Amino acid sequence: MYKILTSLIATCLFALILTPLVRRLSFKIGAVDDPNARRVNRVPMPTMGGLAIFVAFNTTNFFLLRDQYPAKQLWALFIAQCIIVLTGMIDDIYELKPRQKVLGITLAALVVYFVANIKMTTLTLPFLGVVPLGWLSLPITLIWILAITNAINLIDGLDGLATGVAIIALATSALTGYFFLNVTNTFVSILMATLVFALLGFLPYNFHPAKIYLGDTGSLFIGFMISVFALYGLKNATFITVIIPVIILGVPITDTVYAILRRLLNKKPISQADKHHLHHRLMQIGLTHRQTVLVIYGIALIFSFIALLYPLSNFWGSVLLTIATLFGLELFVEAIGLVGETRRPLLNWIKKLVLALSHSVNKKR
């Protein structure tokens, strides 16, 4: 345990030292985010900050904690990471098209599936028991990795936002995996903790006012690793093992789902960018840059606390907890106008119900 703790601290220091070097490299090779209508930065900002996280993370894994991991999986994951990081670096310098980024993520996911042998193989359904996924294992695994990777990529819109949310999500996942879900591969929790400390070393440079951005190098890498870590618990998926990572990743998943819904309702392409994401809406209603990031951190912590309740609940308790979470989430989304300021079906229904009850009470009097 002492070796692990000292290695985690070393990972944080590695990231602290490497980030300024990566910042200089970003300027030299043109990995710079210039201001435009969709950006919040007013001056050119170096991107590709994820490279420092990637190097710090793997330096610890290969030189300090190598004996903690299965060699084959460590190398397979490293190859997949290299594909993701290379995809992100190319995008940060030249700006890839969406389908090109999807191709890079898919190639990395195929390495995870076939080489690392990390995949969903069965699904346990209430009242039905264990259902083998068979040939569906591959598409379901790929869809999971693509969805989570892109969800993290989408919330990377403010200084320190994706980094902080990822720290909260990974720390919660490590705790639930190690103490509650009885995941036999305890090295996964060590991997997650290592990534948390790499992110902690990067955060001081990334928090508002940022000196460097994650870039697609970082957001794709973080999202990809989170999706792969979750797959260890989803190999033999149950209601609990599926719902916990989904709740932990509530912020990016909510933002992604409602972004898709918003664009469909407005008859716009799903891939078309806009300025109506969660962080945009919070700033539009009057919060400052720093306040918006801290509020979303708070929302991420709420999701994490909810996720920690699932292992302590029985099946029906988990169902009720899920319904209550979805109800509260819909109220919040409608209150800030995430889909549209005029699209508030639940709030309108509640308003009508309250008026009807009030009218009924007044009539009795």
The pLDDT of residue 365:
61
- pLDDT tier at 294, thresholds 50, 70, 90: very high
| pLDDT (0 to 100) of residue 36 | 61
Give the tokens for residue 125.
């359904």
Token pair for residue 167?
């720290």
Burial of 340 (0-12, 13-18, 19+ CB in 10 A): middle
More confident residue, 234 or 140: 140
- Other CB atoms within 10 Å distance of the CB of residue 65: 21
User: Does residue 237 register a pLDDT over 70?
Assistant: no
Comparing 28-37, 233-242, 280-289, 343-352, the range with the smallest average pLDDT is 233-242
pLDDT band at 296 (very low <50, low <70, confident <90, very high): very high
Residue 167's pLDDT is 96
Across the strands, what pairs with 45? Answer: 33
Token pair belonging to 313: 């609940």
DSSP-derived letter for residue 210 is: P
Q: Kindly report, residue by residue over 64-89, the tens digit of the pLDDT.
A: 999 999 999 999 999 999 999 999 99
> Which pLDDT belongs to residue 341?
75
Task: Enumerate residues 6+ apart whose C-beta is below 8 A from 125.
Answer: 131, 239
Q: Give me the torsion for CA of 308, 310, 312, 313, rounded to 10°.
A: 150
Average pLDDT of every residue of the chain: 88
The share of the chain scoring above pLDDT 70, in percent, equals 92
pLDDT score at 147: 92
316-334: average pLDDT: 91
Q: Report which of residues 341 and 170 the model is more confident about.
A: 170
User: In this predicted model, what pLDDT tens digit does every residue of 264-288 receive, in sequence order?
Assistant: 887 787 777 777 888 888 998 889 9
pTM of this structure: 0.91
Residue range 209-225: mean pLDDT, rounded: 95
pLDDT, residue 128, reads 65
Give 18-43 pLDDT, tens digit per residue: 999 999 999 999 999 876 655 555 67
Alpha helices in the chain (DSSP H): 2-29, 50-63, 71-94, 98-114, 137-155, 161-179, 187-206, 215-234, 239-248, 250-265, 278-284, 289-309, 315-336, 345-364
Distance of CA 107 to the CA centre of its chain: 20
pLDDT band at residue 216 under the 50/70/90 scheme: very high
Which pair of structure tokens corresponds to residue 200?
A: 């902690």
Q: Which structure tokens are listed for 210? A: 């940022």
CA atoms within 13 A on the CB side of 23: 15
The span from the CA of 313 to the CA of 319, in Å, is 9
Residue 20, CA distances (Å) to 8, 133, 153 in order: 20, 46, 22
